[in-house]
Copies of this chain bind each other. A is one copy, B any other.
Amino acid sequence: MNYKNHVTRLSQYKSVLQRLVKSGIEKTYAESISKHIGIPATQIRKDFSLFGIRGNKRGGYNVLELLEELKVNLGLNRDLPFILIGYGNLGKALARYHGFHEGCVRIIAAFDPKVGVLSSIPPIPVYPPASISAFLKDNPVKHAVLAVPDDVAQSMVDELYAEGIRGFINFSAIALNIPEDAYVNNVDLELELETVVYYTKEAENKEDKEVKKLV
Give A residues with C-beta under 8 Å from B.
Answer: 1, 3-4, 6-8, 10-12, 14-15, 19, 36-38, 50-52, 73-76, 80, 82, 88-90, 92-94, 96-97, 99-100, 103, 105, 142-143, 145, 166-169, 173-175, 181-185, 187-201, 203-204, 209-210, 213-215
Contacts and interface: CB of A to CB of B under 8 A. Distances in A.
A77 to B, nearest CB: 10
Contact of A15 (B88, B188, B197): B188
A181 B214 CA distance: 19
B75 A190 contact: no
- Leading 9 A-B pairs by shortest Cβ distance: A75-B201, A167-B200, A89-B93, A183-B199, A93-B93, A167-B196, A90-B93, A99-B190, A11-B191
A73 B189 contact: no
Contacts of A181: 203
A84 to B, nearest CB: 11
Contact of A210 (B52, B97, B183, B196): B52
Contacts of A203: 166, 181-183
B97 A197 contact: no
20 contacts: A8-B191, A8-B195, A15-B190, A15-B191, A19-B174, A37-B175, A38-B175, A50-B213, A75-B201, A88-B93, A99-B173, A103-B190, A143-B197, A167-B199, A169-B196, A181-B203, A182-B203, A183-B199, A185-B195, A185-B199
